[in-house]
Structure formats: structure tokens, C-alpha cells
Structure 1
Amino acid sequence: MSVRALPDHLQKVVEEELNEVPKRVPEDIKAIKDWLSKQPHIKAREDDQNILLFLRGCKFRLQTVKEKMEEYYVLRSMVINRINVKDPMLPDMQAVLGRPIIIPCPINENGPQVFLVRLNRGDFGKILIDDIIKTGVVIMDIVMQEVDHMVMGFYCIIDLEEFEYGYLSEISPQLIKLIIRGVQNAYPIRPKGYVILNAPSMCVTLYETFKLMLYQKLRDRIHFFNKSDLGEMFKIIPKHILPTEYGGSAGSMDKIRAEWKTKVESYRDWLIDDSKYGIDDTKRLNHPKAYNEFEGSFRTLDID
């Protein structure tokens, strides 16, 4: 078995919170590999580390791993039609990486990973929502690959102070459903909460329209704050890991952005190769499943 050893405090987390039994991990990894060998329609990364990521993300419930892994690759095949090749050197991703739009905060040793997402005034018409989503997917893929700290879950701060209403024309109901499906059903990560900062009334209305698509547990983890409420936000998000613009001591947003731009570019070959993984329904053994159909209720998977 080829997996990274965790530091003691994270090993304690996976054993106490994620049901990991170290001596049983090789057997569980083999069980998923055996299952994948009987699923010719799924082209998945089958290295031990990637399978362990799904096992931990599903609290070692093997049936849930199978469902979430298939959903993950179904979603990839849907999304690949929107985002094409994930080449960070192409102009669309360079435009996003060149602005402080998606910022992974430094590791919080005592809690979940934190991401900061913001749309900057003046970007509408220059940067498409699809390009922001593509870059976000790429950054999340990289974080999942190398940041073991993600076993503690993640928080996402979405700052809408500079949101431009023009972007609403690019946010279709289908896109919202796709994003919700990814968060709830596909990614093997633990959303600990979403903090929405400075939301204009139109965005609050949009949330009220779609919130019934969210599991109750996830709805309970969405918090709305304004600038005057940052003290309350700091009860959830440690202040010191935030950029200086938010009162933290992690450096400026542009400094963190530049570091991540370099990191994403260093993954170029891996990202281009990663585009080949997904679902080929023509090879499905049981019955056809149109992966572009996602109206209606989503498959029920646990949000931990």
C-alpha cells in the first residue's frame, strides 16, 4: 500500500471522526479496486492515495464510496463539456489566476481548511463564471491531492461585497444544480460550513429559491454576515489564517494569489492528464445512464 503517513493529530482525526481502522485500510482499498475492475464505464484514478481520499471522505462506508466515486466521475464527464482541458496556461485560467478571486488560506493546524472566494468589481465581461468554476475545480483537485489537512473538512467564505449583477445572467438554474450536486454528492470532502459575506438582497433571494435543494445539515451550516458581523465570523473562522484585508495575518490576498498561481501552473501536466478520467456510458454493463440528466432530486448521500 502506497499512501502518505499522517501526522499524529490528523491520524487521530481519521480514526476518531472518519472510522479509519489502520490495519483494515489495505483491505478496504483492495475492495474498491476490485469493484472498479468490474466497472468498465468508470475511468478513475486507482492509486491507493486517491482511493483512500474517497474512503475517508465517506467515513469508510464502502457502499457510499462506490456511489460517491461514480457520481464524482459522472460529474467530471458533465463538467468537462463546460470547461474543456484544464490547462492553467491558457488565457481563460490565467485571467482568473491573475486576480484574487479564489484564495486557499494557509493551513489552520487546529481546524478545517478555509477558502476565500470573491468576485471583484470590474471583472464582469472579462472573466466568465465558467472560467471561475473551472479554476475553482482545479484548485480543489490540487488541495485534495496534497493537503492532508483536508481530512478535517473545509470552510468556504464567499464575499459578495463587490458582486456585479451582470453575473446573474451567467448563473443558470442548471449551473446551480450542478454545483449543488457536486458539493453534496460527488466530492469526497467534508463541508463544515459556508460563510456568505455582504450578500446583496438579490443573492439572498436566489439562495432562498434554491436552498430546498440542499440537505438540511448543509443548510444549517450556511451563515450570512455583513462587515459589522466579522467578530461573529471569527468565532467560526480563525482570524490569523485570513488575508490582511480581512484583519488576518496571512499576508495580502495578492501575495497568497501569486503563490497559488505558481502552484497551479506547476501542476500543468498532471491537470491536462487528469482530464481523461470520467464516465463512458457506452461501456456500462447494466443499463444506460444519461449522465447529463440531473433534473429532480439528487441521490441521497450523507453530509458529515
Structure 2
Amino acid sequence: MSAAGGVGTATVTATEATVSGNGKADQLGRDLQELLEWFQLNEKLPKDIEPLLLRRFYQCMYGDLEETRKLIEVNYALRNRHPHLFIQRDPLDDDSRRTFDYADILPLPGLTPDKCKVSLYCFRDFEASKMHHTEDTRAFFMVTDCRFVTPDDPANADVLSEGEVQIFDMKGTTMRHISRLTISTLRAYIKFLQLAFPVRLRAIHMVNCPTYLDRIVSVVKPFISDEVFKLIRFHTVSMDSLYEFVPRQMLPEEYGGGAGSLATLRAQTQKTLAEHRDYLMNPDHWVVEKTEKQNGRSWRFFK
């Protein structure tokens, strides 16, 4: 992978082409090179892509080149359809600071035994007036975009996660928070997660669920496909049920785990965002030129 904020390399490196099994490494290298060349010549895509992100797309589609191309085009089409969420952003601006002052959006270190990456989302401040749904969603995607160009296991950069596990801590969530949801933002967020995410969503765990959980679910369920809704598990009694799915040691200390404190994980995430600021704000990685001319073809899939 090129340095944070830099331009993706013109060829796929040996590191990016390493997998286990005889002959697989050569095939991976050829496929990624073919995808990179296709990407750079495709007028419906930005100018550049980080090699590690390209490999995630490829792995997400189980190495199927045609399906990988479709996923990539959908990803950038949606990004450019909603530039206020995916392109017009700065991890160090006032909007981002307000989000990170009241909420944590934290990729957790390591991988589960089945090679899934775990992320945690929780409130630090329960005051509903501090929630700004669109700005918070923009911050979420900045964190995930940084994660996708960062090795999942620093000890073995060649190992990629096989899926994504998300933990939402509902502690402090009230109907006042739900009333501050922006429907257009919620729709865009869920559509991107369902159609364009470059990793496979394996599970969503809702912990510390309130007694009025059914009212919250009734608001968001119409926007969620049945396939994704089946991935959601509601933990209504205690955290113990979560440990059956996510190793306790992977969780922050505040959740009974051994991954360090929330403050330490927060500082690491903020450091990563600052280091990748140029990358996140570089239009060469996100903006599709001449979008208006392609409008009839590009957006038809989503109507």
C-alpha cells in the first residue's frame, strides 16, 4: 500500500499478491493487476485506488472478477450520488470534532477466530441534542475508509478479514435520538452497507438494548433488507451473550475485555484519521469526473 495520502501504485506489489496455496498467489497477482488496469481506464471511476482497498473488493466477491467490477462501480456511484457523506469531508473539521466528542466509532484490534474484524459504536455523551445524524454518518464512513486501507493484522499484513462484525451499544439511546435521524441519510447509509461495502457483513450485535427496543426497530426496519436484518442479534439481558460471538479479549476494558481502554482506542483511531487526512480529502481517490454525462447509466441501478 502506498503511504497515507499518497497516490496508489501503478502495479500490484508482491505483498498484495501473497496468499496461501500453490498457484493462488500468481492468480491473485494477475487478477489484481487486471482490475487495476480496468479501474484506471474506467471513466465511471476515480483516477486512483489504494491496492489494499482493491484487494478487499476482490476478496469480498470471492475472486470473481466480473462481480468485483460491479461492486466497485456501485460503490463509487453511490459515493458520488451522496458527496456530502462520502467526498466533502475533513476528519479534523468542527463537524467531525463534534461527532467524536460525543460518540465513539472504533475499529477494534485483531481478528476473531474466524478472521472477522470487529468495530464498536457507542455514545460517550447521552445528550440527544449533540447528535447530528448526517455529520455523524460522514464520520463513520471516514473511519471505515481509513480502516480499509490499513492492514487488519499488523503482525501479518497479508491477512485480510473474512468479514465485518459491528457492535452497537444502545446504552443511553432514547426516542429523542431516534427523532433526530435524517431519513435520506439513513436510507443512503443502509443502501451503501447493503450494496456497496467492500467487505462482507457477517453480524450486527445490539447490546444494552432499552426496554422500548421494539419502537426503535419499527423506525429503521423498513430500510433494511430481510437478508441484513437476519444478521442482527439483540442482546437484552447482559453482555455475556455477546461473548459467545466475539472473544472477550477483543473488547475494550469497559466491556470486560482486554483490548485496552476506550480512551486508548479512541486516541489510536483519531491518530489514524489525522494520518489519512490527505487520502480522505483527495478527490483523485473518490470523485468521478463528468458524472452528469453518465447520469442516465450510472444511477439507473438505484432507482
Instruction: Please say whether Structure 1 and Structure 2 have the same fold, judged by a TM-score greater than 0.5.
Output: yes
Q: Name which of 88, 91, 95 aligns with 1:92.
A: 95
Q: Secondary structure at the match of 1:229?
A: coil
Note the alpha carbon deviations across 1:218-276, whole angstroms, 9 max, x for none. Answer: 333210002x3322210101111111111112222122112211221121222111576
Identity %: 18
Aligned to 2:106: 103
Is 1:130 aligned to 2:138, yes or no?
no
Determine helix, strand or coil for the equivalent of 1:98.
Answer: helix
Match for residue 270 of structure 2 among 247, 261, 266? 261
- Aligned equivalents of 1:268 and 1:36: distance in 2? 23
- Are 1:45 and 2:48 an aligned pair? yes
Q: Which string of whole-angstrom CA distances, capped at 9 and with x for unpartnered residues, describes residues 282-304 of structure 1?
A: 343xx714649945xxxxxxxxx
SS of corresponding position for 1:141: helix
The corresponding residue for 1:151 is 161
Q: How does 1:217-296 map to 2 (within 5 A)?
A: 217-226=227-236, 228-274=237-283, 277-279=286-288, 280-284=290-294, 288-289=296-297, 291=299, 294=302
* Secondary structure, counterpart of 1:278 in structure 2: coil
Deviations 1:52-101 (A, max 9, x none): 22111111111211111011101211231346632122111122233452
Tell me the equivalent position of 1:166.
Answer: 176
Contact 1:117/1:157 (CA < 8 Å) preserved in 2? yes
Contact 2:16 2:55 in 1 (8 A): no
1:23 paired with 2:26, answer yes
- Matches of 1:294 and 1:168, distance apart in 2: 26
Total equivalences in the alignment: 285
What are structure 2's unaligned runs of at least 5 residues?
1-10, 154-159
The question of whether the paired residues in 2 share the 8 Å contact of 1:159 and 1:196 is answered with yes
User: TM-score scaled to structure 1, two decimals?
Assistant: 0.81
Offset at 1:114?
1.0
After the TM superposition, which of the residue ranges 229-238 and 115-124 deviates more from structure 2? 115-124
Q: Cα deviation per residue 1:124-162 (whole Å; 9 max; x = unaligned)?
A: 323411222111111111111012455222211001111
Partner residue of 2:187 out of 168, 177, 191: 177
The more displaced of 27-36 and 154-163 is: 27-36
Alignment check: 8 A CA contact 1:57 1:151 kept: no
Give 1:115's aligned residue: 119
* Structure 2 counterpart of 1:220, one-letter code: K
Relative to structure 1, is the Cα distance of residues 264 and 105 closer, same or farther in structure 2, using a 3 angstrom cutoff? same
Unaligned runs of 5+ in 1: 296-304
Question: Which amino acid is 2:286 matched to?
Answer: Y
Task: Spell out, residue by residue over 1:12-71, the C-alpha distance to the aligned partner (whole angstroms, 9 max, x if none).
Answer: 5xx79xxx9321123212332343355313215345433222111111111211111011
How much is the aligned-residue C-alpha RMSD, in angstroms? 3.0
1:200 to 203, 210, 216: 210
Hey, what's the Cα distance between the residues in 1 that align with 2:96 and 2:164? 23
